[in-house]
Amino acid sequence: MRRIVHIGAVVATTAAVIPALAAFNPAQAPAPADPDGGGSTTAPLIVEEITPKSIGRSSTIRITGQVTNTTGSALRDVSVRFSYETYPFTERSELDAFSSGEGAQPDVEAAEVELGGPLEPGESADYTLRADASDLALSSWGVYPAAVQAFDGSGDGIGAERTFLPYRSGDGAPASVQIAWVWPLMDRPQRADEDTFLDNSLVQSLGPEGRLGRLLTAGAQSDEVSLEPEAPAEEASPPPSAAESPSGSPSASSGEAGGSAGGAEDSTDGTGSDVPVTWAVDPGLLADIERLTSPYRVTDDPQAVAEAAAGRGTSGGDAAATTSEEASPGARIWLEQARAALADGSVVSTPYASADIAALLRHGLSEDADAAVSLGRETVERVLERPADDTVALPRGGLMNTATREFYQRQGAGTFLLRDDAMPAQSWVEHTPTAQAPLSLGKGEEGTALVADSSLTDVVSRNASDPGEAALAQQRFAAETAMIAGEDTDTKRTVVAYPTSGWNPGAEYAAGMLEASGSLPWLEPVDLSEVEPSGPDAGEEREKLTYPKRGTRAELGKDYLSEIKDLRGRVRLFNSILVDGEDPFRPAVLRLESAAWRHDRDLARPARVLVEQAVERDMDKVRILPTEPVTLASATGTIGILIANDLDNHTVRVNLSLLSENPERLSIGNYEDAIEIGPGRKTTVYVELSTRVNGRTMIQMNLHNLSGEPISEEQVLAVNATGMGSQALVISGIGALVLVVALTPRALRKWARNRARRDSAAGAASAGGGEEPDEPDEPDDDGEASAGGPGVQDNDDGSTSPAPTGSDADSASSAHTAEDEDEDDDESGPGNTPAGR
């Protein structure tokens, strides 16, 4: 009934004030101008600080900020006004509607201040508004609409900001709500292979003003955690006084801490103690930061790498252009401070590089999922020098299907940090359910789901780093939690503040929210480990675990993971030659399987191409060194084949395979085919060769793993044989013997013929008077004399005359015929000459 009365009052008030607000229309405010042409985007109205964040009866509200003339002409008689509404919000959803500009601006004036003098174009002026809470006539506990507005002398609006006034006095003060903070230290994977970074953004992020730097120092809540270089002792600055404390700190918020601006009631609005924080870390990010502490390389243009690979239709080709960088001092300081800040707090972790567990399980990569968890645990303990809590699982995006839940359960998890899309409130529940709920693990086992509220997540995940955003964002956080606490319920509830993994808050905003968690009277900070289901009805307000369709659509897809599977095949082949089961590319593959690539596909492909190139480079470092052609000067010989292992940190074991192109000509003897080579070493394998025939023969040389798979490109060795082989000698000897046997009878016949002629000539000379005639020329094989020709004879004076004719010629002819017949009958060799000759 009270809610209905409040709604009616709000409607009536709105109807009454709309005509009065017609003169102020933020949509008609002058557009920001840039008189200097420098591209300035300064807002015309900035709210820098609102104190206290919640007010009591005796509080004094103080609002400070700045007005800037963003028009092209001077503004005169500028004033700033603080207005509010006298009726509180009744539903949490009204906060979003009011922030987005729905409904009329609050019109009950609480304070106004005029700025002195005209405001020239581009000129700014500070303002301070003060109002006593006792003058506001707020009647009940709740969150009230408020606004800060700037006008010129004619009443035209210059700028406006909407905000909230949480009022903690009056009737209806609720019981406190527990709040558990989960503080993310996460980022996308920064490296491709172990030594090559995709860009150099991580170095900037680790600095005092960088995203990870701000998250670390704000979450640590300690002045001892600092990323600034240490100053000499004599130059160290003294602790800030109360007047110098940063905005949002207990000393600055004197109205909350019970200072002079407030009354005794405000003393309940600040405790000054640290708020428990559970650090959620990505082990892959810790490893990336650790790698920055030694020299590294940065890819000059990742997109060019991807485009070149796409143009070739392959990931091969020239290595990407990189720039060498020195070790980062900022990375070393960040790690040192992180070890100190996280030493005593609660730490939970994702799998290595926030691997997309749901996608890996869906596409048959469960081994990679197991490796991501084990490597993640090892990395956290090595880098932070302390373990993470293995009983808490952080499913990506706070969503989890049954397969993912069973996987984390096998890994030892019993508590699961989820978003409320995974376990939404029952339709009949009108308030914010408590975060903790029992979760069935099957077979009678029960775990715990800790469900982060999505609206609160949106509020705390704001950037709020631009001028004026931090104060308004902190007021929205105070209003959101106050509305949760004020909901009608009789149970003790817990809310989990769990920003998104890419949270990038301003330093002031991040620190201010933690301070508010400890100071706002309706919040009770607790450690995440203390949140457990309680009572017999725990969990009834939430639906059972569900996996929305958007969870499946968001996973890494089949096509992308198929490319990773191909890469894993090359990695497996490389690993097969390493001793002791080493897997040096496992972290790189897991980084490629990160859920971060769901939303950053532009860098996913260059990262994969760079890893593929790194694998191929390392594969090529185990090789047979080119060899000059070999010459064998004898039937056998020994050659040396040089094999190199140019890997710096790995011992390899390979098999050498040799194959002769023509085994009948050149055969390969025994050699040591299984070889183990240390890092950066070379070894020579000696091989015996034997040749049977002179000539050139090619030997094919390959390196394989122990399973016979080739691991390098084939090399070819030319062998030239110049010495006679044994078989060739035998064949030549037999040929020579056959030739001798075939020619001997003919030589003997020729010898016998010549001898018979000499004997005949000698007998004729004796019968003719004792004068031995001149020995005729020996006929050649054709039976003709070597000097002269047929029908020619020599005269005494040396001249020639025709051969004799008639009886003399016939006698000569008859004699020659008889000799020829004797020669034809002579087939038995020497000793068969007729006796009469």
Q: Are residues 471 and 563 in the same domain?
A: no
Q: Closest Cα to residue 679, out of 703, 711, 646?
A: 646
Query: pLDDT at position 736, please?
Result: 66
- The CATH number of whichever domain residue 129 belongs to comes to 2.60.40.770
Give the separation between CA 653 and CA 677, rounded to whole angstroms: 6
Q: Are residues 214 and 359 in the same domain?
A: yes
Do both 528 and 636 map to the same domain?
no
- Residue 812 reports pLDDT greater than 90: no
Which of 62-66, 67-71, 621-625, 628-632 shows the lowest per-residue confidence on average (mean pLDDT)?
Answer: 628-632
d(CA 46, CA 320): 47
pLDDT for the residue numbered 692: 85
In a domain, 247, yes or no: no
Q: Is residue 593 located within the same domain as residue 502?
A: no
Among candidates 89, 80, 83, which has minimal Cα distance to 112? 80
Tell me which residue has tokens 């906060």.
95
The three-state DSSP-derived secondary structure of 113-173 is: EECCCCECCCCEEEEEEEEEHHHCCCCECEEEEEEEEEECCCCCEEEEEEEEEEECCCECC
CA distance 56 to 76: 36
**Does a structural domain hold residue 295?**
yes
Whether 786 and 777 have beta carbons less than 8 Å apart is answered as yes
As to burial, measured by CB atoms within 10 angstroms (0-12 exposed, 13-18 middle, 19+ buried), residue 127 is buried
The one-letter amino acid code at 598 reads R
DSSP β-bridge partners for residue 145:
164
Identify the H or E element spanning 43. none
CA distances, 560 to each of 350, 367, 539, 563 (Å) = 22, 17, 38, 5
At which of 704, 723, 742 does a domain end?
723
Gap between the Cα atoms of 593 and 561, Å rounded: 8
> Same structural domain for residues 194 and 117?
no
Mean pLDDT value across residues 670-686: 92
365 part of a folded domain: yes
527 and 650 fall within a common domain: no
What the block records as the tokens of 86 is: 């006298």
Strands (E), 245-402: 277-281, 296-299, 322-325, 346-349, 392-393
Which one of 326-330, 426-430, 504-508 scores highest in mean pLDDT? 326-330
Q: Which pLDDT band, with edges at 50, 70 and 90, does 585 fall under?
A: very high
Does 417 fall in a domain? Answer: yes
Residues 565, 522, single domain; the answer is no
pLDDT of amino acid 358: 97
pLDDT at position 532 over 70? yes
471 and 439, same structural domain?
Answer: yes
Using the predicted structure, report yes or no on whether residue 146 has a pLDDT greater than 70.
yes
Non-local CB neighbours of 380 within 8 Å, separated by 6+ positions: 281, 283, 286, 347, 349, 386, 387, 388
255 pLDDT above the threshold of 60? no
- Which H/E stretch holds residue 376? helix 366-384
Name residue, tokens 């700014």.
124
Q: Based on C-alpha coordinates, what's the Rg of the chain?
A: 51
Residue partners of 442: CB distance under 8 A and separation at least 6: 406
CATH number at residue 440: 3.20.110.10
CA distance 285 to 190: 8
Residue 374 has a pLDDT of 97
Q: Is residue 586 part of a domain?
A: yes
- The whole-number average pLDDT for the span 820-828 is 41
Domain boundary among 591, 620, 649: 620
Rounded Cα distance, 268 and 279, in Å: 28
In sequence order, the β-bridge partners of residue 80 are 113, 150
Q: d(Cα 653, Cα 81) in Å, to the nearest integer?
A: 80
Quick check: is 194 in a domain?
Answer: yes
Judged against a pLDDT cut of 90, whether residue 601 lies above it is answered with no
Answer for the pair 479, 526: CB distance below 8 angstroms, yes or no: no
Looking at residue 767, its pLDDT comes to: 55
Average pLDDT taken over every residue of the chain = 81
What one-letter code names the amino acid at 647? L
591 lies in the same domain as 626: no
Domain's final residue, options 509, 534, 554: 554
β-bridge partners, 652: 578, 677
Q: Which residue did the predictor score with more confidence, 392 or 234?
A: 392
Give the separation between CA 711 and CA 577, rounded to whole angstroms: 8
464 and 361 housed in the same domain: yes
Q: How many CA atoms lie within 13 A of 319 on its CB side?
A: 16
What's the pLDDT at 318?
A: 62
- Choose the most confident range, by mean pLDDT, from 273-277, 740-744, 771-775: 273-277
pLDDT at 798: 45
Q: Tell me the C-alpha distance between 479 and 53, whole Å.
A: 9
The span from the first CA to the last CA of the chain, in angstroms, equals: 166
Q: Is residue 812 part of a domain?
A: no
Q: How many CB atoms lie within 10 A of CB 544?
A: 10
C-alpha span between 393 and 374 (Å, rounded): 13
CATH of the domain at 679: 2.60.40.10
Strands, E assignment, 352-489: 392-393, 415-419, 436-442, 445-452
- Residue 670 φ/ψ region, left for φ over 0, alpha for ψ in the -120 to 50 degree band, beta for the rest: beta
Annotate 189-203 with three-state secondary structure.
CCECCCCEECCCHHH
DSSP class of 367: H
Q: What's the domain range around 42?
A: 2-173
Average pLDDT of span 320-338: 95
On whether both 127 and 185 belong to a single domain, the answer is no
Question: 24: Cβ–Cβ under 8 A, 6 or more apart, which residues?
Answer: 105, 149, 151, 155, 157, 160
Q: How many domains are contained in the chain?
A: 4
Mean pLDDT for 675-687 is 94
The C-alpha atoms of residue 478 and residue 50 are separated, in whole angstroms, by 12
652-660 and 674-677 strand pairing? antiparallel
Same-domain status, 710 and 637: yes
Contact between 262 and 56 under an 8 Å Cβ cutoff? The reply is yes
- 770 lies in some domain: no
Lowest mean pLDDT among 198-202, 234-238, 365-369: 234-238
